[in-house]
Amino acid sequence: MPLWDYHTPGIPDELFERIEEVPITKEDIRALAICKLRLKEGNSAIDIGCGSGSITVELCLQTMGNVYAIDFDKKAVELTKKNLQKFGVKAEEVIQAKAQDALPRLPKVDAIMVGGTWGDTKQLIELAIGKLKNGGRIVIDTILIETMYQALTAVNELELNEIDITQVTISKARKVTTGTMMLARNPVMIISATKA
Amino acid sequence: MPLWDYHTPGIPDELFERIEEVPITKEDIRALAICKLRLKEGNSAIDIGCGSGSITVELCLQTMGNVYAIDFDKKAVELTKKNLQKFGVKAEEVIQAKAQDALPRLPKVDAIMVGGTWGDTKQLIELAIGKLKNGGRIVIDTILIETMYQALTAVNELELNEIDITQVTISKARKVTTGTMMLARNPVMIISATKA
Protein backbone atom coordinates (compact mmCIF):
# COMPACT_ATOMS: atom_id res chain seq x y z
CA MET A 1 0.00 0.00 0.00
CA PRO A 2 1.35 3.45 -0.80
CA LEU A 3 2.40 5.56 2.20
CA TRP A 4 -0.09 8.32 1.28
CA ASP A 5 -3.11 7.20 -0.70
CA TYR A 6 -5.39 10.14 0.07
CA HIS A 7 -6.84 12.46 -2.56
CA THR A 8 -6.03 15.52 -0.42
CA PRO A 9 -2.55 17.00 0.15
CA GLY A 10 -1.06 17.77 3.57
CA ILE A 11 1.10 14.75 4.41
CA PRO A 12 2.16 14.81 8.09
CA ASP A 13 5.77 16.00 8.51
CA GLU A 14 6.77 12.89 10.45
CA LEU A 15 6.17 10.64 7.43
CA PHE A 16 9.11 12.25 5.59
CA GLU A 17 12.76 11.33 5.99
CA ARG A 18 14.48 14.33 7.46
CA ILE A 19 17.97 15.53 8.26
CA GLU A 20 18.90 18.48 10.41
CA GLU A 21 20.68 20.60 7.79
CA VAL A 22 17.89 20.46 5.18
CA PRO A 23 14.69 22.48 5.70
CA ILE A 24 11.17 21.10 5.21
CA THR A 25 8.02 23.05 4.28
CA LYS A 26 5.83 22.08 7.23
CA GLU A 27 2.50 20.32 6.77
CA ASP A 28 0.04 23.22 7.09
CA ILE A 29 2.00 25.69 4.97
CA ARG A 30 2.72 22.94 2.45
CA ALA A 31 -0.97 22.01 2.16
CA LEU A 32 -1.91 25.65 1.59
CA ALA A 33 0.87 26.21 -0.96
CA ILE A 34 -0.12 23.08 -2.91
CA CYS A 35 -3.79 24.16 -2.89
CA LYS A 36 -2.84 27.61 -4.18
CA LEU A 37 -1.09 25.99 -7.17
CA ARG A 38 -4.54 24.67 -8.27
CA LEU A 39 -3.25 21.40 -9.67
CA LYS A 40 -4.89 19.04 -12.14
CA GLU A 41 -4.02 15.49 -13.03
CA GLY A 42 -1.41 15.47 -15.76
CA ASN A 43 -0.02 18.90 -14.86
CA SER A 44 3.71 19.47 -15.05
CA ALA A 45 5.51 21.36 -12.30
CA ILE A 46 8.85 22.71 -11.10
CA ASP A 47 9.83 22.80 -7.42
CA ILE A 48 12.54 25.44 -6.93
CA GLY A 49 14.48 24.92 -3.71
CA CYS A 50 13.05 21.48 -3.01
CA GLY A 51 14.83 20.97 0.34
CA SER A 52 13.56 17.72 1.86
CA GLY A 53 11.36 17.11 -1.16
CA SER A 54 8.07 17.27 0.73
CA ILE A 55 6.57 19.63 -1.87
CA THR A 56 8.05 17.54 -4.70
CA VAL A 57 6.30 14.44 -3.32
CA GLU A 58 2.96 16.25 -3.00
CA LEU A 59 3.32 17.66 -6.54
CA CYS A 60 3.89 14.14 -7.88
CA LEU A 61 0.92 12.72 -5.95
CA GLN A 62 -1.47 15.51 -6.99
CA THR A 63 -0.50 15.67 -10.66
CA MET A 64 0.95 12.27 -11.62
CA GLY A 65 2.65 14.44 -14.24
CA ASN A 66 6.20 15.55 -14.99
CA VAL A 67 7.76 17.15 -11.91
CA TYR A 68 11.19 18.76 -11.82
CA ALA A 69 12.89 19.50 -8.50
CA ILE A 70 15.89 21.80 -8.13
CA ASP A 71 18.17 22.49 -5.18
CA PHE A 72 21.69 23.83 -4.93
CA ASP A 73 22.46 21.64 -1.91
CA LYS A 74 23.65 18.10 -2.64
CA LYS A 75 22.14 16.85 0.64
CA ALA A 76 18.74 18.27 -0.32
CA VAL A 77 18.86 16.53 -3.69
CA GLU A 78 19.73 13.20 -2.04
CA LEU A 79 17.01 13.63 0.60
CA THR A 80 14.42 14.56 -2.05
CA LYS A 81 15.27 11.39 -4.00
CA LYS A 82 14.97 9.35 -0.81
CA ASN A 83 11.55 10.82 -0.02
CA LEU A 84 10.26 10.31 -3.57
CA GLN A 85 11.24 6.67 -3.27
CA LYS A 86 9.66 6.40 0.20
CA PHE A 87 6.32 7.61 -1.18
CA GLY A 88 6.58 5.46 -4.31
CA VAL A 89 6.54 8.35 -6.79
CA LYS A 90 8.93 9.47 -9.51
CA ALA A 91 10.04 12.97 -10.41
CA GLU A 92 11.09 13.60 -13.99
CA GLU A 93 14.40 15.00 -12.69
CA VAL A 94 15.94 16.06 -9.39
CA ILE A 95 18.58 18.60 -10.33
CA GLN A 96 21.49 19.77 -8.22
CA ALA A 97 22.09 23.32 -9.46
CA LYS A 98 21.32 26.96 -8.93
CA ALA A 99 17.75 27.50 -10.19
CA GLN A 100 19.05 30.28 -12.47
CA ASP A 101 21.30 27.74 -14.21
CA ALA A 102 18.81 24.85 -14.35
CA LEU A 103 15.64 26.65 -15.44
CA PRO A 104 16.63 27.70 -18.99
CA ARG A 105 16.77 24.12 -20.33
CA LEU A 106 13.51 22.97 -18.68
CA PRO A 107 10.20 22.91 -20.61
CA LYS A 108 7.30 25.26 -19.85
CA VAL A 109 5.12 23.90 -17.05
CA ASP A 110 1.68 24.38 -15.47
CA ALA A 111 2.85 25.13 -11.94
CA ILE A 112 5.96 26.49 -10.27
CA MET A 113 6.64 26.43 -6.55
CA VAL A 114 9.37 28.72 -5.27
CA GLY A 115 10.27 27.46 -1.82
CA GLY A 116 13.81 28.74 -1.57
CA THR A 117 15.74 31.38 -3.43
CA TRP A 118 19.29 32.57 -3.43
CA GLY A 119 21.05 35.25 -5.37
CA ASP A 120 18.81 37.76 -7.16
CA THR A 121 15.24 36.79 -6.13
CA LYS A 122 13.52 39.20 -8.51
CA GLN A 123 15.47 37.90 -11.48
CA LEU A 124 14.79 34.29 -10.44
CA ILE A 125 11.05 34.90 -10.21
CA GLU A 126 11.04 36.59 -13.62
CA LEU A 127 12.91 33.60 -15.03
CA ALA A 128 10.44 31.21 -13.35
CA ILE A 129 7.41 33.06 -14.72
CA GLY A 130 9.01 32.80 -18.16
CA LYS A 131 8.82 29.01 -17.71
CA LEU A 132 5.09 29.07 -16.90
CA LYS A 133 2.50 28.21 -19.52
CA ASN A 134 -0.28 30.74 -19.99
CA GLY A 135 -2.86 30.13 -17.28
CA GLY A 136 -0.19 28.45 -15.14
CA ARG A 137 0.25 29.19 -11.46
CA ILE A 138 3.24 30.34 -9.43
CA VAL A 139 3.42 30.13 -5.63
CA ILE A 140 6.22 31.72 -3.64
CA ASP A 141 6.72 30.76 0.02
CA THR A 142 8.97 33.00 2.02
CA ILE A 143 9.96 33.89 5.56
CA LEU A 144 12.32 36.72 4.52
CA ILE A 145 11.19 40.33 4.23
CA GLU A 146 13.66 40.86 1.38
CA THR A 147 12.25 37.95 -0.64
CA MET A 148 8.71 39.10 0.08
CA TYR A 149 9.52 42.57 -1.28
CA GLN A 150 11.31 41.34 -4.37
CA ALA A 151 8.65 38.72 -5.13
CA LEU A 152 5.90 41.30 -4.77
CA THR A 153 7.74 43.70 -7.07
CA ALA A 154 8.26 41.02 -9.71
CA VAL A 155 4.65 39.80 -9.53
CA ASN A 156 3.30 43.36 -9.85
CA GLU A 157 5.61 44.34 -12.71
CA LEU A 158 4.84 41.25 -14.75
CA GLU A 159 1.12 41.98 -14.56
CA LEU A 160 0.01 38.56 -13.40
CA ASN A 161 -3.64 37.77 -12.63
CA GLU A 162 -5.40 36.57 -9.49
CA ILE A 163 -2.59 37.73 -7.25
CA ASP A 164 -3.10 36.56 -3.68
CA ILE A 165 -0.80 37.51 -0.81
CA THR A 166 -1.47 35.57 2.37
CA GLN A 167 0.48 35.66 5.59
CA VAL A 168 -0.03 32.55 7.68
CA THR A 169 0.86 32.23 11.33
CA ILE A 170 0.48 28.75 12.77
CA SER A 171 0.50 27.71 16.43
CA LYS A 172 0.49 24.08 17.50
CA ALA A 173 -0.78 22.64 20.77
CA ARG A 174 1.59 21.00 23.21
CA LYS A 175 0.52 19.11 26.32
CA VAL A 176 2.16 20.38 29.47
CA THR A 177 1.55 19.04 32.99
CA THR A 178 -1.15 21.60 33.74
CA GLY A 179 -3.00 21.59 30.38
CA THR A 180 -2.63 22.37 26.69
CA MET A 181 -0.57 25.35 25.50
CA MET A 182 -0.13 26.78 22.01
CA LEU A 183 3.41 27.09 20.63
CA ALA A 184 3.84 29.79 17.98
CA ARG A 185 5.66 29.23 14.70
CA ASN A 186 7.09 31.97 12.51
CA PRO A 187 4.81 33.78 10.07
CA VAL A 188 5.15 32.62 6.46
CA MET A 189 4.16 34.68 3.43
CA ILE A 190 2.55 32.83 0.52
CA ILE A 191 2.38 34.81 -2.71
CA SER A 192 0.43 33.22 -5.56
CA ALA A 193 -0.59 34.35 -9.04
CA THR A 194 -1.78 33.18 -12.45
CA LYS A 195 0.13 33.90 -15.67
CA ALA A 196 -2.19 35.69 -18.08
CA MET B 1 -16.88 22.90 -18.09
CA PRO B 2 -17.24 22.51 -14.33
CA LEU B 3 -16.60 25.65 -12.28
CA TRP B 4 -13.78 23.96 -10.33
CA ASP B 5 -12.03 21.13 -12.15
CA TYR B 6 -8.82 21.09 -10.12
CA HIS B 7 -7.60 18.10 -8.14
CA THR B 8 -6.71 20.33 -5.18
CA PRO B 9 -9.18 21.93 -2.75
CA GLY B 10 -9.24 25.64 -1.85
CA ILE B 11 -11.87 27.17 -4.13
CA PRO B 12 -11.69 31.01 -4.05
CA ASP B 13 -14.43 32.51 -1.85
CA GLU B 14 -15.71 34.72 -4.66
CA LEU B 15 -16.79 31.72 -6.73
CA PHE B 16 -19.49 30.87 -4.17
CA GLU B 17 -22.93 32.42 -3.96
CA ARG B 18 -23.08 34.30 -0.69
CA ILE B 19 -25.60 36.14 1.42
CA GLU B 20 -24.85 38.40 4.33
CA GLU B 21 -26.59 36.45 7.09
CA VAL B 22 -24.92 33.10 6.33
CA PRO B 23 -21.27 32.53 7.23
CA ILE B 24 -18.67 30.97 4.89
CA THR B 25 -15.52 29.08 5.85
CA LYS B 26 -12.96 31.19 4.02
CA GLU B 27 -10.67 29.75 1.39
CA ASP B 28 -7.46 29.22 3.36
CA ILE B 29 -9.08 27.78 6.49
CA ARG B 30 -11.35 25.68 4.29
CA ALA B 31 -8.42 24.26 2.32
CA LEU B 32 -6.61 23.34 5.53
CA ALA B 33 -9.71 21.79 7.12
CA ILE B 34 -10.40 19.70 4.01
CA CYS B 35 -6.76 18.54 3.92
CA LYS B 36 -6.92 17.54 7.59
CA LEU B 37 -9.91 15.30 6.82
CA ARG B 38 -7.57 13.18 4.62
CA LEU B 39 -10.18 12.31 2.02
CA LYS B 40 -10.19 9.50 -0.51
CA GLU B 41 -12.37 8.99 -3.54
CA GLY B 42 -15.56 7.23 -2.54
CA ASN B 43 -15.46 8.45 1.06
CA SER B 44 -18.68 9.45 2.76
CA ALA B 45 -18.87 12.60 4.86
CA ILE B 46 -21.09 14.75 7.06
CA ASP B 47 -20.80 18.55 7.14
CA ILE B 48 -22.26 19.83 10.43
CA GLY B 49 -23.17 23.51 10.26
CA CYS B 50 -22.77 23.77 6.51
CA GLY B 51 -23.49 27.52 6.28
CA SER B 52 -22.91 28.63 2.69
CA GLY B 53 -22.05 25.07 1.68
CA SER B 54 -18.46 25.83 0.68
CA ILE B 55 -17.17 22.85 2.67
CA THR B 56 -20.02 20.66 1.38
CA VAL B 57 -19.00 21.49 -2.20
CA GLU B 58 -15.34 20.70 -1.54
CA LEU B 59 -16.30 17.43 0.21
CA CYS B 60 -18.33 16.40 -2.85
CA LEU B 61 -15.52 17.32 -5.26
CA GLN B 62 -12.81 15.54 -3.25
CA THR B 63 -14.74 12.35 -2.50
CA MET B 64 -17.40 11.97 -5.21
CA GLY B 65 -19.06 9.98 -2.42
CA ASN B 66 -22.13 10.37 -0.22
CA VAL B 67 -22.08 13.75 1.51
CA TYR B 68 -24.65 14.89 4.08
CA ALA B 69 -24.92 18.57 5.03
CA ILE B 70 -26.76 19.82 8.10
CA ASP B 71 -27.70 23.31 9.19
CA PHE B 72 -30.36 24.65 11.53
CA ASP B 73 -30.81 27.79 9.42
CA LYS B 74 -33.22 27.55 6.49
CA LYS B 75 -31.26 30.20 4.57
CA ALA B 76 -28.06 28.19 4.97
CA VAL B 77 -29.75 25.07 3.62
CA GLU B 78 -31.06 26.97 0.59
CA LEU B 79 -27.69 28.60 -0.05
CA THR B 80 -25.88 25.26 0.26
CA LYS B 81 -28.23 23.74 -2.32
CA LYS B 82 -27.63 26.71 -4.61
CA ASN B 83 -23.86 26.35 -4.32
CA LEU B 84 -23.94 22.59 -4.91
CA GLN B 85 -25.88 23.27 -8.09
CA LYS B 86 -23.48 26.04 -9.11
CA PHE B 87 -20.52 23.64 -8.86
CA GLY B 88 -22.39 20.81 -10.55
CA VAL B 89 -22.19 18.39 -7.63
CA LYS B 90 -24.83 16.55 -5.62
CA ALA B 91 -24.99 15.98 -1.89
CA GLU B 92 -26.82 12.90 -0.68
CA GLU B 93 -28.97 15.16 1.54
CA VAL B 94 -29.01 18.76 2.76
CA ILE B 95 -30.87 18.65 6.07
CA GLN B 96 -32.46 21.55 7.87
CA ALA B 97 -32.27 20.50 11.52
CA LYS B 98 -30.25 20.67 14.70
CA ALA B 99 -27.30 18.34 14.24
CA GLN B 100 -28.27 16.54 17.44
CA ASP B 101 -31.63 15.66 15.88
CA ALA B 102 -30.35 14.79 12.38
CA LEU B 103 -27.26 12.72 13.22
CA PRO B 104 -28.90 9.64 14.81
CA ARG B 105 -30.55 8.51 11.56
CA LEU B 106 -27.49 9.04 9.34
CA PRO B 107 -25.13 6.17 8.44
CA LYS B 108 -21.56 5.92 9.74
CA VAL B 109 -19.16 7.92 7.54
CA ASP B 110 -15.44 8.32 6.83
CA ALA B 111 -15.17 12.03 7.60
CA ILE B 112 -17.03 14.56 9.70
CA MET B 113 -16.54 18.30 9.53
CA VAL B 114 -17.87 20.35 12.43
CA GLY B 115 -18.04 23.93 11.23
CA GLY B 116 -20.71 25.27 13.51
CA THR B 117 -22.18 24.05 16.77
CA TRP B 118 -25.00 25.15 18.97
CA GLY B 119 -26.34 23.78 22.21
CA ASP B 120 -24.06 21.35 24.04
CA THR B 121 -20.87 21.20 21.96
CA LYS B 122 -19.28 18.37 23.91
CA GLN B 123 -22.38 16.20 23.51
CA LEU B 124 -22.57 17.05 19.81
CA ILE B 125 -18.95 16.07 19.22
CA GLU B 126 -19.44 12.80 21.10
CA LEU B 127 -22.49 12.10 18.95
CA ALA B 128 -20.52 12.97 15.79
CA ILE B 129 -17.64 10.68 16.73
CA GLY B 130 -20.22 7.91 17.26
CA LYS B 131 -21.09 8.36 13.57
CA LEU B 132 -17.47 7.95 12.42
CA LYS B 133 -16.21 4.66 11.02
CA ASN B 134 -13.06 3.27 12.64
CA GLY B 135 -10.10 5.05 11.05
CA GLY B 136 -12.38 7.95 10.09
CA ARG B 137 -11.42 11.58 10.63
CA ILE B 138 -13.14 14.42 12.45
CA VAL B 139 -12.20 18.08 11.99
CA ILE B 140 -13.61 20.82 14.20
CA ASP B 141 -13.25 24.47 13.14
CA THR B 142 -13.94 27.05 15.79
CA ILE B 143 -13.46 30.68 16.67
CA LEU B 144 -15.01 30.40 20.16
CA ILE B 145 -12.96 29.68 23.26
CA GLU B 146 -15.89 27.75 24.75
CA THR B 147 -16.15 25.45 21.70
CA MET B 148 -12.38 25.00 21.66
CA TYR B 149 -12.42 23.90 25.32
CA GLN B 150 -15.37 21.56 24.94
CA ALA B 151 -14.05 20.05 21.71
CA LEU B 152 -10.65 19.47 23.30
CA THR B 153 -12.26 17.83 26.33
CA ALA B 154 -14.38 15.54 24.13
CA VAL B 155 -11.46 14.59 21.88
CA ASN B 156 -9.23 13.79 24.87
CA GLU B 157 -11.84 11.79 26.74
CA LEU B 158 -12.78 9.67 23.73
CA GLU B 159 -9.14 8.65 23.27
CA LEU B 160 -8.87 9.47 19.58
CA ASN B 161 -5.61 9.06 17.69
CA GLU B 162 -3.42 11.51 15.76
CA ILE B 163 -4.91 14.51 17.53
CA ASP B 164 -3.73 17.77 15.95
CA ILE B 165 -4.61 21.18 17.32
CA THR B 166 -3.65 24.03 15.01
CA GLN B 167 -4.38 27.70 15.45
CA VAL B 168 -4.27 29.58 12.15
CA THR B 169 -4.06 33.33 11.82
CA ILE B 170 -4.37 34.64 8.29
CA SER B 171 -3.60 38.14 7.01
CA LYS B 172 -4.42 39.23 3.47
CA ALA B 173 -2.75 41.96 1.44
CA ARG B 174 -4.66 45.06 0.43
CA LYS B 175 -3.35 47.69 -1.95
CA VAL B 176 -3.44 51.17 -0.51
CA THR B 177 -2.24 54.34 -2.25
CA THR B 178 1.22 54.15 -0.69
CA GLY B 179 1.83 50.39 -1.01
CA THR B 180 0.63 47.00 0.15
CA MET B 181 -0.62 46.45 3.70
CA MET B 182 -1.64 43.27 5.48
CA LEU B 183 -5.13 43.05 6.97
CA ALA B 184 -5.48 40.62 9.87
CA ARG B 185 -8.30 38.10 10.18
CA ASN B 186 -9.38 36.42 13.40
CA PRO B 187 -7.51 33.35 14.61
CA VAL B 188 -9.28 30.06 13.90
CA MET B 189 -8.65 26.83 15.80
CA ILE B 190 -8.68 23.60 13.79
CA ILE B 191 -8.89 20.43 15.89
CA SER B 192 -8.52 17.15 14.01
CA ALA B 193 -8.30 13.51 15.07
CA THR B 194 -8.65 9.92 13.88
CA LYS B 195 -11.11 7.45 15.40
CA ALA B 196 -9.22 4.37 16.59
Q: Report CB contact under 8 Å: A35, B35.
A: yes
DSSP tag of B159: T
Sequence-ordered strand ranges (E) for B126-178:
132-142, 161-176
Q: Give the list of residues 6+ apart from residue A141 with CB closer than 8 angstroms, or none.
A: A25, A29, A33, A113, A114, A115, A188, A189, A190
pLDDT tens, A35-74? 999 999 999 999 999 999 999 999 999 999 999 999 999 9
Bridge-partner residues for A169, per DSSP?
B169
The per-residue pLDDT for B104 is 97
Tell me which of A7, A164, A185 to substitute to probe the interface with B (most B C-beta atoms closer than 10 Å). Answer: A7
Q: Which of B6, B41, B62 sits opposite A40 (nearest CB)?
A: B6
pTM: 0.96
Residues of B in contact with A180 (CB under 8 A): 152, 165
Q: What is the pLDDT along chain B (196 residues), one digit of tens a residue?
A: 789 999 999 999 999 999 999 999 999 999 999 999 999 999 999 999 999 999 999 999 999 999 999 999 999 999 999 999 999 999 999 999 999 999 999 999 999 999 977 778 899 999 999 999 999 999 999 999 999 999 999 999 988 999 999 999 999 999 999 999 999 999 999 999 999 8
Q: Report CB contact under 8 Å: A32, B31.
A: yes
pLDDT tens, A131-147? 999 999 999 999 999 99
Task: Give dist(CA B113, CA B125) in Å, integer.
Answer: 10
Asked if A81 and A53 count as a contact pair (C-beta separation under 8 A), the reply is yes
Task: Give dist(CA B90, CA B70) in Å, integer.
Answer: 14
Numbered residues of chain B with Cβ closer than 8 Å to any chain A Cβ: 5-10, 12, 28, 31-32, 34-41, 62-63, 152, 162, 164-173, 180, 182
The per-residue pLDDT for A160 is 93
Q: Report the complex ipTM.
A: 0.95
